[in-house]
Structure 1
Amino acid sequence: MNCHIKTGLAATALSFVCCASYAADDAKIVKIGSAAPTTGAIANLGKENENGARLAVEDVNRQGLVVGGKRVKLELDAMDDQADPRQGTQVAQRLVDDGVVAVVGHLNSGVSIAASRIYHDAQVLQVSPDSTNPQFTQQGFNTTYRLVATDAQQSPVLAHYALQTLKAKKVAIVDDSTAYGQGLADQFSEAIKGGGAQVVAREATNDKAIDFKGLITKIKGQSPDVIFYGGMDATAGPFIKQAAQLGLKAKVLGGDGTCSDEVASLAGPAVDNLVCSIAGLPLSRMRAGPAFEKAYEKRFGTSVQIYAPYAYDSVMVIVDAMKRSGSTDRAKVLAAARSTDYQGLIGGIEFDDKGDVKSPRLTLYGYKNGKKTLLTTMTP
């Protein structure tokens, strides 16, 4: 029996109907790796990456996948990198040794960068749904791809908001000393200075910190109009809360790592003082966003926070490369990735010669009564 299969949630809006079903023992098992921090302080974000990839794998298997005339069943090989570069390289090697055809990951830029050499040496396609440090795709590796805007695109948008909307003249900058946080802060510093504002404080903490009172007191003495925080929600939340407790009224700006539901629970009412960016589109602006949200919540019993759609489409990009190459061979799938022209959940996906997605989108959010509220969407 013939069956016309379309991969991609945007095309089917999760209403998958196939006229043939394939038994598991009748199909070749092909592993796709998933690497993200599923334990620790930012496990909420890492688990979302894994969930997004898992939902895609399940959807593809439900439809039935044929590659080069052979039936294929996908299997997600999910591993916890603990948001640690050293652990990330070990996870990368295990995934390579497991024979994965490609990898969705990692979440943290520092981990993606560290692990990328392992994937490159093995010539395994790596698609990150959320690593934003520009260095990730600037290493000359033919294996590195990402589906989101970079910090070099994200930070100037935040700086423009600080300058034009908040009319900031004096700015304090804090980062968590990670490749992600420091890279984002460096790009913001360059952009804000270029716009004529003064950086009155540049401070560093770490990604395990919970007490910021000394640092905040030091910053308060400089009377900044705006504070930029480069880091993740696990530390941004306490920072924002303690800044409010110490009477610091400056608006806090942050990147995508801060822009979650979790930051609201950690910061309390003070989260209304945060404006943050997402290096992509909101679900509400995606063609099949509402359908994806319902399917995700039904499957996992929790709401989409940030990048589940990007993890979903990372799998779909890999599947698209398999289908176009007519193979599940690593080398052939990798070779096909460069010519990707795929209409996914997040929109059209094409890559430049470094592996960065063409025409990325950015979204700014504020918080009102503890709820994330869309401010604006733009192309950097």
Structure 2
Amino acid sequence: MNRARCYLKVLSLALALAAPLSKAEDSVVVQIGFSGPLSGMSEAYGRSLFHAAQLAVDQANSPANAPLNVIDGKSVRFVLAALDDKQDMNMSILVAKYFVQSGVVGVIGNTNTTNSLATSAIFDEAHLAHISPASSGRNYTRMGHRSAFRVVGHDEQAIYSLVPYLLGDMHAKKIAIISNETLFGMGISGKFEKALQDFQKPAFMRENISGRTYDFNAVLDHIQEAGVDYLFFGGNAEQAAMLARSMQRKGVTARLISAMAGTAGDNFLKVAGTASEGVIALEYGVPPDKMTGWKKFYSSFNTAYADGINPFTVCSYDATNLLIEAVREANSTDRKKIVEQLHNIKYKGVSGNISFDETGDLLSPTFTVYQVSNLKWQPIKVLQTSKH
């Protein structure tokens, strides 16, 4: 309990520093929260999403947008209050409780399914919009929380688009599954396993590992002995990169597959190196060169920040711009009004058109299969949304 109180004091100071009061009496500071990992194993991933959100806020505050930044007759300035949830469920709950008590009008986050499931009820009780740029677990939007949204497709849609492609176009014959023991890892691996059964091609074997381990030796020995040709990994991109390196070191010839983990980004290539060659990843959205506004976003982001871009970076940018637009259209900082505006919004983001169904799920999501070739991610197939 003392540790929790101490952390809340740190959060109070962080938000106080993040959002200085406006000096003009006729202007209003509008705070937007960001909850994601800014330290630890997933720091590179989290900072990329945080900086994308910051870029959106900075652009919204540009002089060119001043005529748009008026609420109830007063000019407004948007401020991002970013807090480190360390990709940890308990820490994310503390962050969520603090945001509820603070003056934020909405939250960009959480950035993984486990934390989104843990915090959604806290946000919803306060009618605080929370838009995830990355949480793909289907249950996140199945809890009846009207303030929950996501700007990516859910994992069941993704998997039921991926499996027929693997069995058909990729001619997969003997498939193994490794799942880390996180809610995301177990969830997406379970859906992959069920989809294989539905398509009458059961997985040859499934192994579970810790979400924090980099020791894959025992599991890979079993896979190598079995002569598996494809290995599906349910887990985060950082762990997937280390798995790829272990597979290369041990001479495992199975091709590694990842889904909805942000794997098809710069950081995976940096960590996995030559072991990334041939790796397959399914990610949300169309390829970047098919995205309207991608070149401008890419240039602006790389000019401002040195972070690598992952598939969810642009989603964080879109989620932040979406929340800002909802505040403008609602002409209010009232949390309930912002939630209702999000349910009615139609927004054209870099990643595509964004509007939601009654549960807060994105309408008509698209997915892309990528493959590493010559140490670069190359799109090889765009998949339309499955009805699942």
The two structures share one fold, judged by TM-score above 0.5: yes
Distance 1:207 1:259, change over 3 A: farther
* Alpha-carbon distance in 2 for matches of 1:246, 1:375: 27
Q: Which residue of 131, 134, 137 corresponds with 2:138?
A: 134
Equivalent residue of 1:198, what SS? coil
In the alignment, structure 1 residue 313 sits paired with structure 2 residue 314: no
Equivalent residue of 2:280, what SS? strand
Structure 2 equivalent of residue 41 of structure 1: 41
1:47-86 correspondence runs (5 A): 47-62=47-62, 63-64=65-66, 65-86=69-90
In the alignment, structure 1 residue 91 sits paired with structure 2 residue 66: no
Structure 2 equivalent of residue 369 of structure 1: 374
* 1:194-236 per-position Cα deviation (integer Å, ceiling 9, x unaligned): 2222311111112211110111102222222211001112211
In the alignment, structure 1 residue 266 sits paired with structure 2 residue 271: yes
Tell whether the 8 Å contact from 1:293 to 1:303 is kept in structure 2 after alignment.
no
* Alpha-carbon distance in 1 for matches of 2:54, 2:77: 13
1:162-311 correspondence runs (5 A): 162-257=166-261, 258-311=263-316
Structure 1 equivalent of residue 27 of structure 2: 27
Equivalent residue of 2:215, what SS? coil
Q: Report sequence identity in percent.
A: 28
Tell whether the 8 Å contact from 2:281 to 2:370 is kept in structure 1 after alignment.
yes
Shift in Å at residue 100 of structure 1?
0.6
Structure 2 equivalent of residue 348 of structure 1: 353
Distance 1:338 1:213, change over 3 A: same
What TM-score results when the alignment is normalised by the length of structure 2? 0.89
Tell whether the 8 Å contact from 1:169 to 1:198 is kept in structure 2 after alignment.
no
What TM-score results when the alignment is normalised by the length of structure 1? 0.91
Tell whether the 8 Å contact from 1:68 to 1:323 is kept in structure 2 after alignment.
no
RMSD (CA atoms): 1.5
Structure 2 gap ranges (5+): 1-21
* Alpha-carbon distance in 2 for matches of 1:84, 1:325: 33
* 1:43-93 per-position Cα deviation (integer Å, ceiling 9, x unaligned): 111111111111111111112211232211111010111111111111111
* Alpha-carbon distance in 2 for matches of 1:27, 1:245: 59
Tell whether the 8 Å contact from 1:168 to 1:197 is kept in structure 2 after alignment.
no
* Alpha-carbon distance in 2 for matches of 1:172, 1:79: 38
Distance 1:270 1:303, change over 3 A: closer
Equivalent residue of 2:203, what SS? strand
Structure 1 equivalent of residue 19 of structure 2: none
Shift in Å at residue 160 of structure 1?
2.0
Structure 1 equivalent of residue 333 of structure 2: 328
Equivalent residue of 1:168, what SS? coil
* Alpha-carbon distance in 2 for matches of 1:182, 1:87: 21
* 1:74-123 per-position Cα deviation (integer Å, ceiling 9, x unaligned): 11010111111111111111111222100000111101110111101111
* Alpha-carbon distance in 2 for matches of 1:42, 1:282: 24
Number of equivalent positions: 358
In the alignment, structure 1 residue 104 sits paired with structure 2 residue 108: yes
